[in-house]
Structure 1
Amino acid sequence: MSKRILILDDNQDILDIVHETLSYENFDVKSISVGDEVMPMMLEFAPALVILDYRVAGVNGGELCKQIKCHPDYKDIPVIIFSAYINHDDELFGYGCDAIINKPFDLTELVEKVNGLIS
């Protein structure tokens, strides 16, 4: 059974590229574009890793990461935050994420970080 990855990004182009790349790497991928869907999807999809865009409408990816890391059932699930805000790594790590990928990003870097966190 392939490992599951949940991706949140409100940019459909990025969602499509990341979804396709990780699916090609034999991960079971679920892509969503609305932050409010993350916590219900955690229960339904049971991902092995979560990738969150930092800036999405409604709640930001950092706050969602904090919710995941504070939840007793999800606290050990690795979280990667996508961010276009370079030089804010300390602030982003403050939310409890396991890795940060700065946008624009290289797909090889994405696959390496994902594999490093859930292999």
Structure 2
Amino acid sequence: MSKRILVLDDNQDILDIVQETLTYEKFEVRSTSNSLDVLPLMEQFIPDLIILDYRVAGTTGGEICKRIKLHPQFSNTPVIIFSAYLNNDDHLLNYGCDGVINKPFDLSELVEKVNNLIYP
């Protein structure tokens, strides 16, 4: 059974590229551009890893990450935050995420980070 990844990004081009890349790598991927969809999709899809864009309408990926890490069912689910806006990864790690990928990013970096978190 393939591992499941949930992706949030409000840029459809990035969502498409990430979904295509991770699907090619044999992951089952669900994606959304709406931050309000993340928690309901999590509970429905039960992902093995979650990727969040830092800057999304209405909130931040950091705030969503904190909610995920407080959720009893998903507190141990690895979370990666994408960011084009912060140069200091430590700021993002304070939200409890397990990894940071700075935009623009290399697809091989994405796949490597995902594999390292899903298959430690």
TM-score, normalised to structure 2, is 0.97
- How well do the aligned residues superpose, as a CA RMSD in angstroms? 0.6
Q: Which runs of 4+ in 1 moved over 3 A?
A: none
Superposed CA offset, 1:13-33 (max 9, x none)? 000000000000000000100
Q: How much has 1:100 moved relative to structure 2? A: 0.1
CA deviation after TM superposition for structure 1 residue 91, in Å: 1.1
Distance in 2, matches of 1:91 and 1:108, equals 24
1:94 equivalent in structure 2:
94
Whether 1:8 aligns to 2:8 is yes
Identical-pair percentage: 68
Aligned residue type for 2:40: P
Letter aligned with residue 115 of structure 1: N
| Match in the other structure for 1:107 | 107
User: Amino acid of the residue matched to residue 117 of structure 2?
Assistant: L
Residue deviations 1:42-69 (CA, integer Å, cap 9, x gap): 1000000000000000111000000000
State how many pairs are aligned: 119
Q: What is the one-letter code of the residue matched to 1:111?
A: V
Amino acid at match of 2:19: H
Structure 2 unmatched runs, 5+: none
- Identify the residue that residue 31 of structure 2 maps to in structure 1: 31
Measured against aligned partners, the alpha-carbon deviations of 1:78-111 in whole angstroms (never above 9, x if no partner) come to 0000000242311100100000000000000000
Residue 49 in structure 1 maps to residue 72 in structure 2: no
Other-structure match for 2:71:
71
Q: TM-score, normalised by structure 1?
A: 0.98
> For 1:2, what is the secondary structure of its paired residue?
coil
